[in-house]
Amino acid sequence: MNKYEITYKIYPSAIFGLPQEGFTVISGEREIHGDTISTRSGKIVGFGTLSSYRDESEKINFKTSYKDAEIKFNDNFVTISFDENDCTIAINKANKILTDFLRMLHTFYLGRYFYAETIEFLENDKTVREFLSPSVYSFRLQWYNLKEFTSNLSEIFSKLSLVDDVAIRCLEYIDRASLLESINHELESFDPRTRAFLKSEIFLNYYKAMTVVLGDPTIDRDYQSRYQKFNILKDYYENEIKPLWKIRSDYDVAHYQLKENLDKLQKLIDNIDKVRKVVIEVFKKYLEYLKSRK
């Protein structure tokens, strides 16, 4: 058996209280001021609030074990260590652990998309260069709360120990919705129609995440009873979940055509926040159900 250590760098870095190109990075939600822009030249003539990065005493230092791997966080660098027989098996195993972690992380920070690059791959303390990935880029304005982030790490790995195939499929759709939301934040200059259709895809992916657990009315005959199995209150089902099924049915998100007008998609856009909250509540209830069966 060989000892493998794979280190990844997680992006965006600002949420760790670190510099991020194009962003003002601030600890906690407090009043901020933008730069002063000249109305005559359109140029910056004065700086607003400047970035305030994490102190050395605040940096993320977190260790845990998951399955047969040891995991260590140092700021936004995560090192996954374990014993294995083969390089290819090792990198696939480490990538799977990291992917599962990032998908669960999205459930704590909806609307943000996390991704990573491989910084170092060691086999018995020697670098294996063919498994290293190229550098990547980053984004704009980001708050950070390191105490909250550190406390979430333990909960994430605790929840990961419960997941089954259904939970993984649910996380995959949440993952896609988070990616689309991050892309949406970059599309300020695009025309309204493009953004509307992108937002409808955000709704659709959150909706699919919900139906993975609760069933789809167009496919699953037991969709009206599954919520009881997962201890979801009837009032919540009637007032929060069923309206989302109706919205999906009425507006046929999956098969929209470009000739449709924006008004027809506005109902979907107006309910993205709602479907996002419902998905997390349903996912939480499903994990509680899985925990009760162990």
* Cβ-based burial of 235 (10 A; exposed 0-12, middle 13-18, buried ≥19): exposed
196 and 121 both lie in a single domain: no
pLDDT tens-digit readout, 44-72:
777 777 888 889 999 999 999 999 999 99
Domain's final residue, options 107, 127, 158? 158
58 and 19 both lie in a single domain: yes
Window from 112-121, 183-192, 271-280 with minimum mean pLDDT: 183-192
Going by C-beta distance under 8 Å and a sequence separation of 6 or more, which residues neighbour residue 238? none
Confidence class of residue 216 from pLDDT cuts 50, 70 and 90?
Answer: confident
Res 89 pLDDT > 70: yes
**How many domains does the chain divide into?**
2
Residue 262 confidence (pLDDT): 61
148 and 279 both lie in a single domain: no
92 and 198 both lie in a single domain: no
Residue 189 confidence (pLDDT): 42
Confidence class of residue 135 from pLDDT cuts 50, 70 and 90?
Answer: very low
Beta bridge partners of 70: 65, 81
8 and 124 both lie in a single domain: yes
When comparing pLDDT for 116 and 39, which is higher? 116
131 and 200 both lie in a single domain: no
Domain's final residue, options 158, 186, 218? 158
- The answer to whether the predicted template modeling score (pTM) of the entire model surpasses 0.75 is no
Domain's final residue, options 123, 158, 193? 158
Q: Which residue has the tokens 């990573």?
A: 116
Query: What's the gap between Cα 200 and its chain centre?
Result: 18
Which residues form the domain of 200? 164-292
